[in-house]
Structure 1
Amino acid sequence: MNTLELVFFKLVSHEIELSEFESWVYSESRLEEILSSDDYLELISINYKTPSSLYEAQKILTSYFSMGKYYEWNIRNILQKIVEKPNDVHKYIEQCYNLYCEGFGFMDNLGLGYGLGITCSDYHNEKVDDYYPQILGEVDKVVEWLDSGKIVITGHSGEYHGIEYEDNRSVIEKEPTGYKI
């Protein structure tokens, strides 16, 4: 992944402030080489003080950067946080449920098996301890599917729950393990 992609991904995931992104836009000389002259002019002309500026910047840059790669990067970051188990790990486990609800069906074991339990609990830290080390096995499965190409995230159709991905897992790999229907 190159630096330009990483900054775009951090913008979309709200890991950098708009003011920081704005400064980067004005200082990053490679943008002018990568973007069309119209898109570059539009990007440097955005008023980054307005609420719509994030949407406007994303709209320009999504034709240059893969949203499928962004979603994969985001999922991998969340999974890495679960492995690292910081003090606020419960919020990353909850995000697995959100990802499942957004259309990432392959996140069902993590989302429904663990994330939903955290979402519905008032005792986040106590509940988290009950999930380890079993949750790490589910994290490993998702990472392996992404690494091996069994799950290939291609992007978003623009519709509600419009996540698009290729699911090349076997029938057995698709079976729920973290919850029972």
Structure 2
Amino acid sequence: MNPVELVFFKLVSHEIELSEFERWVYSESQLEEILSSGDYLELISINYKTPSGLYEAEKVLSNYFSMGKYYEWNIRNILQKITDRPNDVQKYIEQCYDLYCEGFDFMDNLGMGYGLGLTCPDYYNEKVDDYYPQILGEVEKVLEWLDNGKIVITGHSGEYQGIEYEDNRSVEEKVPTGYKVQESKKWWQFWL
């Protein structure tokens, strides 16, 4: 992945502030080589202090970088954080639920089985420690699907829940197992 693409991905995922991106736009010489002269002029003309600055920058740069590649990069980042288990790992596990809700149905085991339990803690009474080491097996499965081309993310259709991807998994691999994480608890434990 080239450095310009990485900065774009970080912008879209809100890993860098818009003000930092603006400074980068004015200093990055490769942008002039990558973008058409009209798009480069548009990018350096954006008022990054307005709420629409992020949208306008994404609009220009999305013509040059694959959103499918961005989504895969983002999912891999989240899964790596779950594997690394930083102090704030809970937010990454919760993001698996968000990804599932956004249309990444192959994230059902991580999203529904683990992320939902943390998203609704009053209902499920879950703790991050309860998920390890089992969650790592689910992370490895998704990474394997991405690595082996069983899941190929192609992009976004522009519609609500319009994530597009090719699902080349076997019927057995598509069977949700994440629900069993929650089912393994006794029914009365949900209300404790």
**Fold in common (TM above 0.5):** yes
Match of 1:9? 9
Name the CA distance, whole Å, in 1 between partners of 2:52 and 2:124: 34
Q: 1:119 aligned to 2:119? A: yes
Q: 1:53 aligned to 2:48? A: no
CA apart distance, 1:126? 6.1
1:137-167 deviation digits (Å, cap 9, x = unpaired) = 0000000000000000000000000000000
Match of 1:81? 81
Name the CA distance, whole Å, in 2 between partners of 1:82 and 1:165: 23
Match of 1:171? 171
Runs of 4+ in 1 over 2 A off after TM superposition: 122-126
Letter in 2 for 1:114: Y
Match of 1:138? 138
Name the CA distance, whole Å, in 2 between partners of 1:123 and 1:92: 19
Name the CA distance, whole Å, in 1 between partners of 2:49 and 2:122: 37
CA apart distance, 1:124? 10
Match of 1:65? 65
Task: Answer whether contact 2:117 2:124 (CA < 8 A) is retained.
Answer: no
Match of 1:95? 95
Name the CA distance, whole Å, in 2 between partners of 1:124 and 1:49: 41
Name the CA distance, whole Å, in 1 between partners of 2:7 and 2:110: 28
CA apart distance, 1:66? 0.4
1:10-31 deviation digits (Å, cap 9, x = unpaired) = 0000111111101111111111
1:71-104 deviation digits (Å, cap 9, x = unpaired) = 0000000001101111111110000000000000
Match of 2:108? 108
Name the CA distance, whole Å, in 2 between partners of 1:124 and 1:88: 19
Name the CA distance, whole Å, in 2 between partners of 1:108 and 1:20: 35
Task: Answer whether contact 1:12 1:58 (CA < 8 A) is retained.
Answer: yes
CA root-mean-square deviation: 1.6
Name the CA distance, whole Å, in 2 between partners of 1:93 and 1:122: 17
Name the CA distance, whole Å, in 2 between partners of 1:130 and 1:34: 47
TM-aligned CA distance change 1:122 to 1:39, over 3 Å: same
Name the CA distance, whole Å, in 2 between partners of 1:94 and 1:5: 26
Three-state SS of the structure 1 residue aligned to 2:179 is coil
Normalising by structure 2, report the TM-score. Answer: 0.91
CA apart distance, 1:127? 1.1
Structure 1: 5+ residue stretches without partners: none
